[in-house]
Amino acid sequence: MPAPTEFLQFVDQNADAFIQRLSDAVAIPSISGDASHRKDVFKMADWLNDQLKAVGVETQLVDLGKHIMDDEELQLPPAILGRIGNDPKKKTVLLYGHFDVQPANKSDGWDTDPFTLVVHPTNGQLIGRGSSDDKGPILGWLNVLQYHFQTGKELPVNLKMCFEGMEESGSEGLDDLVKREGSGNGGWFDGVDCVCISDNYWLNTRTPALTYGLRGLTYFKLTVSGPSRDLHSGVFGRTVHEPMTDLIHLMGQLVSPTGKILIPGVDEMVPPPTEEEKAIYSGLDYSIQDIQDAAGAAIALSDDKVNVLMGRMRYPSLSLHGIEGAFSGVGAKTVIPAKVSGKFSIRLVPPQTPDAVNPLVIAYLQSEFAKLNSKNKLHIEDLHGGKPWVADHKHWNFEAAKRATEAVYKQSPDLTREGGSIPVTLTFAETLGVNVLLLPMGRGDDGAHSTNEKLDRSNFIEGTKLLGTYLYELASV
């Protein structure tokens, strides 16, 4: 069933107001991974709750309890559950998104303040933290709902919504809620026929995509400590075991410069690709130039597009993220830091799971540390994790999204697996027993998690049309 022309016109006519609303959302620095911003994640939950209620959604804020972050006990931001429509003749679609964002500081290299949405004067890019990941897509749903509310037009499907504020920090508390309310005992998630998540990106900058796979994740923090306080390197250099030296050595044993994971057994868990599978990657609209443009430099690990795509979609990867406690200021401080914590994560693919991989990681780190004969102490923490997910892309949920993409973009979508992770995806699929679709709004060069994150104006506006059209197509597949 095509979306009404009136809806498509409404989106075009209200584009500036939609961008203003995105600007209001970006202005709330809802960084879930920074305790000092926890109040902003709550503020963002209230803001979104008000917006949803204003377009006719019946909502409830669900308390997810408390958690410990950086040795501090914190209240988790609430999940927002919303619903609109309860017609037994219609399909019920669950929409998921997250209203928290990654940290961002102008000093990281942003050209503008990350929490002030800037509309680029010539190319129309909407630049600001969360514009693409994931406030833009959430607001896309709000735009669709606003049309139906303002015109009194009935939605073609029943909608349930689940929006969370901890996705960028492991979705703490959400799995329990989904399992409690979605296991078929009359809970809130019962009756859902399919799930749609708009929280990833096209592969390139020109071809819309539907996504049927995500990598899982396991995130570690390694702390090496020794002296009771920071030391003078002129006094203590070459006289004591230095925590930073031990840590750098350990971090250097994790991954080769060409991406091979050096922890025995981790890469080996993954079966090699079949020729048929390679043909899928070969058929995707992608080039080495795309990854170089998105990365902003000619640094691809391979000149072969299939290898690059498999590196992102069907192989695990290990990335080193940072060192807490290390000297990182300006100048030339001659310090030996007393305690340093290295952070790294592994993106997992089937059949890998955190339960299967974590013991290998821990045993390897302990044995490598033992080889140093260091008198420092090593403490290993597994901060959070999630399993990989792969869906049936021949399902009617994907067919509806394909038709919607063709209607809005006049193009067939790429079928992709995503290199990132959205931990709750697999929980929805397994607990609710329904198909989950990822329907991205933004482009491959949006710079999510990076500096100058943006969402192209056309992706926000046409993406809103796509989300609305998908609901209409769902009603008829």
Ligand X SMILES: NCC(=O)N[C@@H](Cc1c[nH]cn1)C(=O)O
Site residues (vs ligand X, CB under 6 A): 133-134, 167-168, 170, 199-200, 217, 219, 420-422
Q: Which stretch binds Zn ion (CB under 5 A): 104-112, 194-202, 210-218, 322-330?
A: 194-202
From the list Zn ion, ligand X, none, pick the one residue 290 interacts with, judged by a Cβ distance below 5 to 8 Å according to partner type: none
Longest CA–CA separation in the chain, Å: 78
From the list Zn ion, ligand X, none, pick the one residue 421 interacts with, judged by a Cβ distance below 5 to 8 Å according to partner type: ligand X
> What's the rounded Cα separation, in Å, for the pair 161 and 196?
10
From the list Zn ion, ligand X, none, pick the one residue 368 interacts with, judged by a Cβ distance below 5 to 8 Å according to partner type: none
What is residue 229's DSSP assignment? Answer: S
Residue type, 147: Y
Residue 414 sits in the site that holds Zn ion (CB under 5 A): no
Residue 167 falls in the annotated catalytic set = yes
From the list ligand X, Zn ion, none, pick the one residue 217 interacts with, judged by a Cβ distance below 5 to 8 Å according to partner type: ligand X
C-alpha of 383 from chain center = 16
Site for Zn ion in 124-143 (CB under 5 A): 133-134
134 vs 164, which CB is nearer to Zn ion?
134
From the list Zn ion, ligand X, none, pick the one residue 170 interacts with, judged by a Cβ distance below 5 to 8 Å according to partner type: ligand X
- Residue 329, Cβ density class (10 Å: 0-12 exposed, 13-18 middle, ≥19 buried): exposed
Residue type, 49: N
Q: CB 448 → Zn ion: shortest distance, Å?
A: 5
Strand, helix or coil at 176? helix
166 vs 360, which CB is nearer to Zn ion?
166
Helices 15-26/38-54 angle, 10° precision = 150
Binding mask 85-124 for Zn ion (x = CB under 5 A): ----------------------------------------
What is residue 273's DSSP assignment? Answer: P
Residue 246 sits in the site that holds Zn ion (CB under 5 A): no
DSSP H helix total and E strand total for the chain: 14, 20
Q: Helical H runs in 166-304?
A: 174-181, 233-236, 243-252, 275-282, 288-295
Q: CB 171 → ligand X: shortest distance, Å?
A: 8
What is residue 325's DSSP assignment? Answer: T
Site for Zn ion in 4-23 (CB under 5 A): none
Catalytic residue among 100, 181, 199, 246: 100
Q: CB 137 → Zn ion: shortest distance, Å?
A: 8
- What does each C-alpha distance from 375 to 153, 169, 210, 244, 418 come to in angstroms? 70, 33, 52, 13, 42
Residue identified by tokens 């993106």 is 347
Q: Which stretch binds Zn ion (CB under 5 A): 197-205, 235-243, 407-415, 453-461?
A: 197-205
Catalytic residue among 133, 167, 446, 453: 167
Residue identified by tokens 């350990």 is 250
Q: CB 319 → ligand X: shortest distance, Å?
A: 10
Catalytic positions are 100, 167
Binding site for Zn ion (CB under 5 A): 133-134, 199
